[in-house]
Structure 1
């Protein structure tokens, strides 16, 4: 038998996977083979390290829990304000819309029944039709732009411009992320 076979048997022996005759054969071989003895001793050390390592529990450094709880409390207080800020902006926008709508309705009502007049209604309807016509022109312009873009996609210059635009957009997002990063206000938060 070669050394690889005995190495496999050593691993099985350490895992209690050999029967008595195989153990006797392995012990007899180990008594006469220094290479396998060295391999067995190495395997025993690895086994000891693996079995002992699972029992060792490494704790966090001193003060870790206190620092973590302090940072967590700081971020909870800091991020809680964002919700109220957003709610305030939403409330302010609704109030603004309510005031502008009220002013518009009061202006129409104060002008009397003239705003219900047929001529004014007709001019409003014509204005809506012109707005729809303008939107149609813009949609046609966008369609023309898409068609022209599809035709120019075969040119390398188009792809160069597209890649440059993507790179500049990525760079701009990185700059915004860097500029808007939170700033620590206390020395304790930096520790």
Structure 2
């Protein structure tokens, strides 16, 4: 493995404080919209920090290198869209009760949140879950407004074109009406 790392150009190697990784591709993620890596370091320096995706072996290498760092894990569950707010709160409360029974925590910190609720310990969680829906909703509303404006302009244009045609052809229409044709 060391021979392979030494034979590759530096552009294909990522060095994380002495732990080297081979870059095999690039991808995009929603986490780039709100890339909080550590709560103690909220302002990301894009020149020296970034988000990388590794397989389980790569994750284990980093985790073993930084044993004192806390690794946060959370589960996102989707509730059917036709669920009422009361039902969502009931589901959240049931999950919260299960988590409190499972975890030995004397402080009884609340650990279950809906997407529209901010987590005091991990506030970026809610933003990571909601931000994509918010962006898509904003784009959707903008497109609906733009479509409405375009439909209005096309309708006004068609009305003016028909009016002008009738005005230019009013003599022919008058002759046809005088001969007994219906105006409509």
TM-score (norm 1): 0.24
Structure whose residues are more often strand by fraction: 2
TM-score (norm 2): 0.25
Structure whose residues are more often helix by fraction: 1
